[in-house]
Amino acid sequence: MPSATPAAPKSSAPQGYFQNIWYTLKSIFIGMKITLKYMFSKSVTISYPFERLAFAPRYRGIHEFEADICIACDQCAKACPVDCIYIDKSKPRKIDKATGKATGGDLLRFAIDYQKCMFCALCTEPCPTDCIHMGKNHDLSAYSRQDMIVEFAEIDRDGLRTPIPLWMERNQDIPWVKSEYDRVKSGELATKDADIPSM
């Protein structure tokens, strides 16, 4: 059966030899031209975490959660398109008008699985007590899948609104990291209208 692809024209051995040299030199030249072009252009990457970029004011990062005003109504979990919010309570909870805090049953669990979360912020919109917010931290790198599930009700017992990730623990000699660490440790929420400036 005849071949569908026409055979390449045969070249003589010396001609093919010099053609190969020409192609090699040409491809080296093209590669070096691209390398030199980018070698002298301004870098678009930064050396994180020693430097960091400022995010837009409405950037959606790892959540910040105020457990003391969460009534465990499940509205956020129902709104979540990927079902990554897990809530458990001992009894119904409601806001005490005198204190402004949630009373009734215990919030046994409020967890978000960041292997699934897509930072859409749909969970924050139906919350009747405005206790779940998108934060400013984008980095939750960890060594295990389990560590990507943040147990917000548990960290609240340590006064935290959002987790302190490993990189934040380990890089406190960097001024902006130390300042973020101190903010998170104090339970202060991230500002909604500003971000840490570019370094």
* Residues making contact with ligand SF4 (CB under 6 A): 70-76, 79-80, 82, 84-85, 87, 112, 117-123, 126-129, 131-132
Closest CA to 67 of 93, 49, 30: 93
- Using CA atoms, how far residue 126 sits from 118, 119, 143, 187, in Å, is 17, 15, 33, 23
Which is closer to ligand SF4, CB of 127 or CB of 174?
Answer: 127
Instruction: Considering the complex, state which of residue 85 and residue 177 has its C-beta at the smaller distance from ligand SF4.
Output: 85
- The angle formed by the CA atoms of residues 191, 94 and 63, to the nearest 5 degrees, is 30
The CB-of-90 to ligand SF4 minimum distance in angstroms stands at 14
Distance CA 70, CA 106 (A): 10
What is the distance between the alpha carbons of residues 185 and 164, in angstroms, rounded to a whole number?
A: 8
Which one, of 120, 112, 104, 61, lies nearest residue 84 by Cα? 112
Name which of 85 and 190 has its Cβ closer to ligand SF4: 85
Rounded to a whole number of angstroms, the minimum distance from the CB of residue 57 to ligand SF4 is: 18
The β-bridge partners of 135 are 61
User: Between 87 and 160, whose beta carbon lies closer to ligand SF4?
Assistant: 87
The single residue listed with the structure tokens 């109504």 is 73
Output the smallest distance, CB 151 to ligand SF4, in A: 14
Cβ closest to ligand SF4, residue 127 vs residue 177: 127
Taking CA atoms, 5 is separated from 8, 9, 12, in Å, by 9, 12, 21
**Least Å distance between CB 108 and ligand SF4?**
12
Measured from the CB atom, the residue of 31 and 57 that comes closer to ligand SF4 is: 57
To the nearest whole angstrom, how small is the minimum distance from the Cβ of residue 48 to ligand SF4? 23
Whether the Cβ atoms of residue 109 and residue 76 lie closer than 8 Å to each other: no
For the bound state, the minimum distance from the C-beta of residue 121 to ligand SF4, rounded and expressed in Å, comes to 5
**DSSP bridge partners of 89:** 107
Cα-trace Rg, the chain: 27
